[in-house]
Amino acid sequence: MTYRLIFDRLLTRTDPERAHHRAFRAIRAAAPATRPVLRRRADGEPVEAMGLRFPNRLGLAAGFDKNAVGIDALAALGFGHVEVGTVTGEAQPGNPTPRLFRLPADRAVVNRMGFNNDGAELVARRLGARAEALARRGRSGPVLGVNIGKTKVVPEEEAVRDYEKSAGLLAPYADYLVVNVSSPNTPGLRDLQAVEKLEPLLTAVRRRADATVTEHRVPLLVKIAPDLSDEDVLAVADLARAVGLDGIIATNTTISRAGLATPVAEVERIGAGGLSGAPVRERALEVLRLLAGRVGDDLTLVGVGGITTVEDARARIEAGATLVQGYTAFVYEGPLWPSRIARGLGTGVRVGA
């Protein structure tokens, strides 16, 4: 409640992207002190998926830690897995600012960041240094997902090569890989969700990951948009099984602006971008149910989009998800939110958000 008051009365007056960077720096700085306390509070029910053991079902969705600079600090807050990225083959600045906007009346965020990140080569070096440091201290971190996407300047006909580059560099440090073809902020990216384009892409990434990491198999997932038609969702599910994927993440942000409480003029002023948070909840749940009905237990499903309360998270699990992820609720609810959700899911205690 204290955080909500601070957020609603103070933080909403600051630039969202600047506030994000400041908050993330604070999380990293506080990690040594918070890790023992919050880790005890965040004890959840461990779960096995894709050959991996997750400390609890809750993860941080891609987009928060784009450059893999705060993985272990974020895990200290209670996330059982952290998905970094989206990382592209080449470094890129992303779209012009302002590119991140809050819709407090809807508990939502609009972003058109455009995959701003340091690029696969630098992120791989950073992950390698982290792995060496953990090994020296005899420690292990959270389950680590690496989300990869297409470099903006790379034409569509060269997209496979671009994804292959990222997969080859990053697979050695990833517990699992995610192919992101569903952000609305890179021109033409969502076109790659069409099965005739998605099949060669996923096959190539799977092949490159296997060639790079020979001592074990790195699970591969695809992240899809909530804006796909039901027919296209089912087509992606069929393709995922056919090419031997390990899972599907449902869903990314939406381009829809239907049903918002925020005034239309304000929404129009903000302009284009992906909408995340509470307004995505129902469609993300629908997509998850469609996928579960199609693939059953053959694939691991990860539910994301509009999860704020323990009840929201449980609804995804009941609909067929093994794991859930959050991002926007983390922004609105504050640093105690991950431990609250993880603890509620793990103990069965009804905990409000």
- At residue 128, the pLDDT reads 97
- At residue 279, the pLDDT reads 97
For the cut 70, the answer to whether the pLDDT of residue 98 exceeds it is yes
Per-residue pLDDT band for 38 (boundaries 50, 70, 90) equals very low
In percent, how much of the chain has pLDDT > 90? 78
Over the chain, what is the mean pLDDT? 91
pTM of the model: 0.92
- At residue 221, the pLDDT reads 98
For the cut 50, the answer to whether the pLDDT of residue 40 exceeds it is no
Among 49, 36, 43, 205, smallest CA distance to 120 is for 205
Active site residues: 183
For the cut 80, the answer to whether the pLDDT of residue 196 exceeds it is yes
Among 298, 334, 325, smallest CA distance to 6 is for 334
- At residue 41, the pLDDT reads 44
Per-residue pLDDT band for 13 (boundaries 50, 70, 90) equals low
For the cut 90, the answer to whether the pLDDT of residue 23 exceeds it is no
Q: Binding site residues for substrate, as ranges?
A: 66, 111-115, 180, 185, 252-253
207-228 mean pLDDT: 95
Least confident segment among 6-15, 135-144, 338-347:
6-15
- At residue 33, the pLDDT reads 58
317-344 mean pLDDT: 95
The three state secondary structure string of 100-131 is EEEEHHHCEEEECCCCCECCHHHHHHHHHHHH
Q: Binding site residues for FMN, as ranges?
A: 62-66, 86, 147, 180, 223, 251, 277, 306, 327-328
- At residue 349, the pLDDT reads 38
pLDDT in tens, 258-299: 999 999 999 999 999 999 999 999 999 999 999 999 999 999
Residue type at 129 in one-letter notation: A
226-246 mean pLDDT: 94
Which tokens is 247 given? 């899972």
Among 284, 270, 169, smallest CA distance to 224 is for 284
β-bridge partners, 325: 59, 304
The three state secondary structure string of 166-222 is HHHHHHHHCCEEEEECCCCCCCCHHHHHCHHHHHHHHHHHHHHHHHHCCCCCCCEEE
What are the chain's domains? 2-347 (3.20.20.70)
Q: Binding site residues, as ranges?
A: 62-66, 86, 111-115, 147, 180, 185, 223, 251-253, 277, 306, 327-328
Alpha helices in the chain (DSSP H): 2-9, 16-41, 71-75, 120-136, 159-170, 195-212, 230-242, 264-270, 281-295, 310-319, 328-333, 337-347
CA 160 – CA 150 distance, rounded (Å):
9
139-167 mean pLDDT: 95
